[in-house]
Structure 1
Amino acid sequence: EEKDAFFEKPPVQDLTKSFRDINLSRPLLKAISTLGFEHPTPIQSSTIPIALLGKDICACAATGTGKTAAFMLPILERLIYRPKRIPVTRVLVLVPTRELAIQVFSVGKSLCQYTDIEFCLAAGGLDIASQEAALRRNPDIVIATPGRLVDHLHNTPSFDLQGIEILVLDEADRQIHEHFKDQMDELIRLSPKGRQTMLFSATMTDEVEELATLSLNKPIRLFINRNTDVANNLRQEFIRIRPAREDDREAIIAALCYRQFNERCLIFMPMKWQVHRLRIVLGLLGLSVDELHGNLTQLQRLEAFNRFKKGEIGILVATDLAARGLDIEGVRTVINYNIPATTKQYVHRVGRTARAGQFGRSITLVVEKERKLLKTIVKNSKTAVKSRIISPEIITKYKRKIQKIQADIKDILKAEEEEKAFRVSEMEVNKAKNLIIHEEEIHSRPKRTFIQAEKRDGNMMFM
């Protein structure tokens, strides 16, 4: 009852309106038309009119429903009529990862292409000096990850949050999961109390409810999709792996990709080394494939993501890094190396396909100990769940194929290790040279301030 009292009831919503009916200015309608959009998605139809009224919003919506445009369009609409005499940063959008920050930045720039609204991207893994220079110019909108933004607040003297009029907390549940809770609390505290705040989350956990209580004022709660159901146009398939045959997984995936699913296919694996190895295996089998995981540099991750998005490669092997938030259009097939630990994680993974009304397929490999979770998924599914059978002869055939290239796999991994060791040595030598050459200048610089988070489970975490 207390929770219900905290939220205001949403007004009656008309989900049949077009973008032209939602009170948007001509520059935005022109951008929407250029991008080829005609009708808003349910989250956009629900959010935009309420956001234009300046009300706080707490929205629970599945990934891929158009959340970014849902909050970005009303923000841009308000900024078109902003005072322009003195540059002021009026909008802050917080996201959990660099990749999502870049994606939100890209969507925002596309939507404001016929306006003079300025954006700044402040995320880890990108050049910090250029970010500081951009922040000093007080751009209209800052899109940031919490850790990097707190760093800038302590090290960029002319930048602060005193002018923030709109705060967006995107993928709030994941920001909490990524241990950004302390930074988010600080950023909320530093933002003016009279601001408008919009919180978006794929799941509405107790932690998210607590964050909503801290950051929102008389918000309107929108449940567009509770994110526990898969899309109706998704065909779910499971491949049962019998006891003592778990090492068949790699051969099964190779067979699936080689024989049928080699275009717009996203494969999820639990470990980074497994992702890398499968990329090598599929590549040696002649398939067009790349990888996405945390051991890659930011540039490598962006290149892999963009190549898959543009269709330059047919298969992307990834860890759960790509399972939430990233918008990859046109994924036809999702293959799960293993069944995720929870139903929610499963829904997040398979939610990369069957989006925007398109047909999609998910194939999940399941061992005996995972059958309990499989039964839960089958029980909760509104559509039929199918069993896919791969003959033992096919599995044996692809195990032999992989066995034949084992020597090549080892050679590639060895060469990569040697190259990595050489690069590290070269970096150390260059670092030593620079310390000698620029010693006086380095010692004259003021020290940067880094934020130390509170202790968690006895370990000190640094952000």
Structure 2
Amino acid sequence: MDAFRLLGAGASFKKNGKFARDHELFNAQPARRDPAEAARAEKDIERELDFFHTAATQPSASVTADEGSLSKKRKRNHNDDHAANGSLTTITTAEEANAHRKANRIKVTGTDVPYPFASFSDLLSRFELRSFLKRNLDKYNFNKPTPIQMQAIPILLHKRDLLAIAPTGSGKTLAFVLPMVQDLKAHESAGFRALIISPTRELAQQIYNEVKKLTEGRGMKVCMLTKATAATQAQAPELRQKFDILISTPLRLVHALQQESIDLSNVRHLIMDEADKLFELGFLEQTDEILAACSSPALQKALFSATLPSSIEQLANTVMKDPVRVIIGSKEAAAETIDQKLVYAGNEQGKLIAIRNLVQTGGLKPPCLVFVQSIERAKALFHELVYDGLNVDVIHGERTKAQRDAVIDKFREGQIWILIATDVMARGIDFKGVNLVINYDFPQSVQSYVHRIGRTGRAGRRGEAVTYFTKDDAEYLKSIVNVMRQSGCEVEDWLLKLKKPSQEARKKLKKKPVDRRNISTQPKVFKEKRAHKKDIIENSKKKKAPQQEVVTASDHEGDEAD
């Protein structure tokens, strides 16, 4: 990492003078040695865990497992507990349920929370799991349930509303698809009985594929709402094909509802995947319209996400009835299978030098995802890395559906080693075996950070996440440091002593990213020469255009005379 040492070589930030601001950013006031200091990062997050304010007012009506700090001693105890309970195959008592939750870091809040299950055989005996489901679980190698599946599936099978927060890659899709299919049983002609909403088309396609796997051999009809399928649904009601399960993005579904081409009055299961995104201002109006269209009194609602800010607490209260909240690990923590690193790059040129240094030293292990904050920056970084001869491509909203699908397929097949993406791609897309995630641009929120790095370290595999930051990002570092600490990563003392960003600063960053210089290591004088040359060429083209028009006009006059 000599390149990074050179970036800061000889630097000295004095408390007074023109570097006072830099000293304040990177050198917080010395903290007192406090025994509770190790738990502060977690407490900053744990204070927001009680979405429905039940912990203080209804202590007897809630069950909470695995409370307290994640010290190294506690992590050893966690491993011991997990080993001790590894042979547990059935859960029949409250003591066994609480021990199982503790061993798997499952936190639950609510009244009369159903026991988790320890194995799929336990689930089969307790809920009389349908034979085709068991057959499909075996076929696609779903051998051992994940923590979110252990607790969420029994809750949904008991017809309870659910708010579930679990790390990316932890098996949330199966957690809501299995109980839904178990209840639907088989195909009926009643129209849509289950609805799954996701914020992106790519995630909707991924969910569609998983639903098709689990419904094999049962004849259930699954519809992913696209422009083509929406057109077929726009026919007269008696001519429409009857589907059981509908999967869609909010905008596409709202458009169909406004055209009255889709009826959601029979929907009994409403699943909102990536719920934190669906309740943001950009989607909130569409989400409200969808909720209003699902008018069945028997409607069961489930919200799933990897992160869940406290800001949606009131909204969740208004749409759910007596919900159970399930949190795996901590509310805003990444999976423990991800090795997270923060790297100071100095400035925008330093970032490009850093990523090139990774390539030269063998630190860039494909397949690799690189996240930037805008489409323009995605294009610019793509051109820089292509010039370096790297096997790279880019995916963003300005590319067509066919182009995006082709890029995703090539990345999954290993034809593309490095994929540059914007934050939209960080939402739920399951790329198998991503080894490295690079946050080229610092994420705009904790939620964005967790979703980005969650593309690696999935399904128990190890992964690495590197986040570059500059002086402009220093104000927001502590939020990411807290997530790293919560996830069990080693964090240097000076990072723990940084000041927390104010609420106003966090809101400002979430609304608008940091204004950054263009992605390039080319000296300014070369850029000016290139721009000047481009202007000369453009002016030359403009001068030639009128002359060509005159010649063309005279030619036509001659033709008419003949």
Q: One fold, TM greater than 0.5? A: yes
How far the C-alpha of 1:99 sits from its partner, in A, is: 1.4
Give CA-to-partner distance per residue, 1:197-230, whole Å, 9 cap, x none.
Answer: 1122333334432332222222222122434223
Given that 2:435 and 2:457 are in contact with CA atoms closer than 8 Å, whether structure 1 keeps it comes out as yes
Contact 1:58 1:199 in 2 (8 A): yes
> What's the CA shift for 1:319?
0.7
Deviation larger for 226-235 or 128-137:
128-137
Q: Per the alignment, in what secondary structure is the counterpart of residue 180 of structure 1?
A: helix
Inter-partner Cα distance in structure 1 for 2:526 and 2:121: 57
Amino acid at match of 1:141: I
Cα displacement string for residues 74-100 of structure 1 (whole angstroms, at most 9, x for unaligned residues): 111112256x3x342111111111111
Structure 1 pair 209–276 and aligned structure 2 pair: CA distance change class (3 A): same
1:265 maps onto 2:368 in alignment: yes
Deviates more, 1:198-207 or 1:347-356: 198-207
- Match in the other structure for 1:383: 489
Match of 1:234 among 338, 362, 368: 338
Match of 2:444 in 1: 341
1:117 to 220, 224, 232: 220
Q: 2:133 aligns with which of 8, 14, 28?
A: 28
Structure 2 residue identity aligned to 1:218: D
Report the RMSD for the aligned CA atoms in angstroms.
Answer: 3.2
Cα distance, 1:190–1:350 mapped onto 2, change above 3 Å: same
Query: 256, 261, 264: which is aligned to 2:358?
Result: 256
Equivalent residues of 1:95, 1:101 under 8 A apart: yes
In 1: Cα distance, 2:314 partner to 2:321 partner: 13
- CA contact under 8 A between 2:117 and 2:154: conserved in structure 1? no
Closer, same or farther: CA 278–204 of 1 in aligned 2, 3 Å: closer
Instruction: Give the match's secondary structure for 1:335.
Output: strand
Residue 144 of structure 1 is matched in structure 2 by: 248
Is 1:220–2:324 an aligned residue pair?
yes
How many Å separate the matches in 1 of 2:467 and 2:178?
37
**Which of 140, 154, 157 lines up with 2:258 in the alignment?**
154
**Does structure 2 retain, via aligned residues, the 8 Å contact 1:120–1:143?**
yes
Task: State the distance in 2 between where 1:184 and 1:117 align.
Answer: 26
Give the match's secondary structure for 1:164: coil
Q: Which moved more, 1:103-112 or 1:189-198?
A: 189-198
User: What displacement does 1:174 show?
Assistant: 0.3
1:247-302: CA deviation from partner (whole Å, max 9, x where unpaired): 23223223323542151100011121221222233233222211111111122112
Q: Letter of the 2:408 partner, please give it.
A: F
Q: Conserved in 1, the CA contact under 8 Å of 2:116 and 2:154?
A: no
CA contact (8 A) 1:47 1:71 kept: yes
Alignment match, 1:365: 468
More displaced, 250-259 or 326-335? 250-259
CA 1:227–1:133: 2 relative to 1, 3 Å: farther
Unaligned 5+ runs, structure 1: 388-397, 415-463
Secondary structure, counterpart of 2:279 in structure 1: helix
- Name the counterpart of 2:39: none
Say yes or no: does 1:56 pair with 2:195: no
Pair 1:77 & 2:179 matched: no
Query: Residues 294, 164 of structure 1: CA spacing in aligned structure 2 closer, same or farther, 3 A cutoff?
Result: same
Is the contact made by 1:236 and 1:362 (CA closer than 8 Å) also made in structure 2?
yes
- 40-49 or 339-348: which moved more? 339-348
The answer as to whether partners of 2:308 and 2:331 remain within 8 angstroms in 1 is no
Range 72-81 or range 314-323, more displaced: 72-81
- SS for the counterpart of 2:459 is coil
| Residue aligned with 2:282, SS | coil
Range 139-148 or range 351-360, more displaced? 351-360
- Equivalent-residue separation in structure 2 for 1:181 and 1:142 (angstroms): 20
Alignment of 1:29-428 (within 5 A): 29-81=134-186, 84=188, 86-123=189-226, 128-130=230-232, 132=234, 136-157=240-261, 159-177=262-280, 179-191=282-294, 192-242=296-346, 245-257=347-359, 259-260=361-362, 261-378=364-481, 380=483, 381=485, 382-385=488-491
The alignment-based identity, stated in percent, is 33
Structure 2: distance between partners of 1:289 and 1:127: 33
More deviation, 371-380/181-190: 371-380
CA offsets 1:119-142 (integer angstroms, 9 cap, x no match) = 11125x666424646992120001
User: In structure 2, the residue corresponding to 1:179 is in which secondary structure?
Assistant: helix
TM-superposed deviation, 1:118: 0.5
